[in-house]
Structure 1
Amino acid sequence: MPNDDPVPSLTEGRFDGREAFDAILRAALSAAAREGWKEIVFSDPDFADWPLGERASIDALQAWSASGRRFVLLAQRFDVLERGHARFVPWRRIWDHIVECRATGKAAGSEVPSAIWTPTWFVHRIDPERSRGVSGTDAPARRALRESIDECWRIARPAFPASTLGL
């Protein structure tokens, strides 16, 4: 029996506005689970306005999670994510073995791009304040975005631990 549920498609081209960005993120998480992406990179100064705490986002991440997967989070700081996305924090703890988190802090040259990167598709919020940007499969644009993320990654330090050990 065919599945008649609409499958959100990954967008190509420009987008404008918070609702458009949220829809793109939700579609990306659904595609990751459906297509079994091996790696996902989320990059943002603080993830304050990402819908990562939504039940649908966590359900999609849960469906995507598996051995051999890699989820990378890069930020300037994670305090907003820890406080503002209550469902995401426990998911991150459970899947610590596939999640890598780094923060640049206020290091010089640490302008963290607001982006989603995968080996075949990307989203880049060029104007995060207004949630305006581009998405697509264009290889040169995807490569340039990954280079920008990698530059920040190099100066970043491990952050957002799954647990805090203490005495």
Structure 2
Amino acid sequence: MDQPTAQRFSTHLEFEEKFQLCIARSRSVLQLFDPDFAVFPLGSSETEAALRAFLAAGGSMQLAMHRSAHIEKHYPRFLRLIRDYNHKVECRVTSRSLHQLTDSFCVGDRAHIVRRFHCDHTRGEADFDAPVSTEISLERFAAIWVESLPGLHPTTTGL
């Protein structure tokens, strides 16, 4: 059996390419954590199209973050996507006790991962078709999810 080989990246463009690839390879679930998702291209038309196709095909998403203000202010396409697929997208905001967490990742289908080592930098790695590479981030995500509350509602009333 081949050992997973992480693909390193250090630029924003490389990160975006790996993120798009993670979406494209995923079929059932995307789990994302970032303090504010400012670096993720959630507002781009390419990401919107990829996520719409993923969700329309039966996929679901879970996003956990410290703050939702950046998404609310800069990603109207993503907010529309959440509104259109609110039964398939769940967003949570972490409690203050978790605000020291500074990593950032997207895990697809428990087999693909795009991970930035620190939210202030684009340097990171991606690994595809490698469930072993996702285990630690999935454990972290589960712990973050439990300690978070629903947030980032698609409308101003939260409906």
Q: Same fold (TM over 0.5)?
A: yes
Partner of 2:141: 149
Which of 1 and 2 has higher RCO (CA within 8 Å, sep 6+)?
Answer: 2
| TM-score, normalising length: structure 2 | 0.85
**Any idea what SS the aligned residue of 2:97 has?**
coil
The 5-angstrom pairing of residues 27-38 of structure 1 reads 27-32=21-26, 37-38=27-28
Q: 2: distance between equivalents of 1:15 and 1:62?
A: 26
Provide structure 1 residue ranges, at least 5 long, that are not aligned to the other structure.
Answer: 1-10
Any idea what the Cα deviations from partners look like across 1:81-109, whole Å, max 9, x if unmatched? 11111211111111000011111142246
User: Which amino acid is 1:151 matched to?
Assistant: A
Relative distance call for 1:87 and 1:59 in structure 2 (3 A) is: same
Partner of 2:72: 82
The number of equivalent residue pairs is 152
Residue of structure 2 aligned with 1:131, choices 122, 135, 157: 122
The ranges of structure 1 where at least 4 consecutive aligned residues each deviate by more than 6 angstroms after the TM superposition are none
Largest Rg, 1 or 2 = 1
User: More displaced, 124-133 or 103-112?
Assistant: 103-112
Alpha-carbon shift at residue 161 of structure 1 (Å): 1.3
Q: 2: distance between equivalents of 1:87 and 1:153?
A: 24
Residue of structure 2 aligned with 1:51, choices 41, 48, 51: 41
Provide structure 2 residue ranges, at least 5 long, that are not aligned to the other structure.
Answer: none
User: Percent identity at matched positions?
Assistant: 26
* Backbone CA RMSD of aligned residues: 2.1
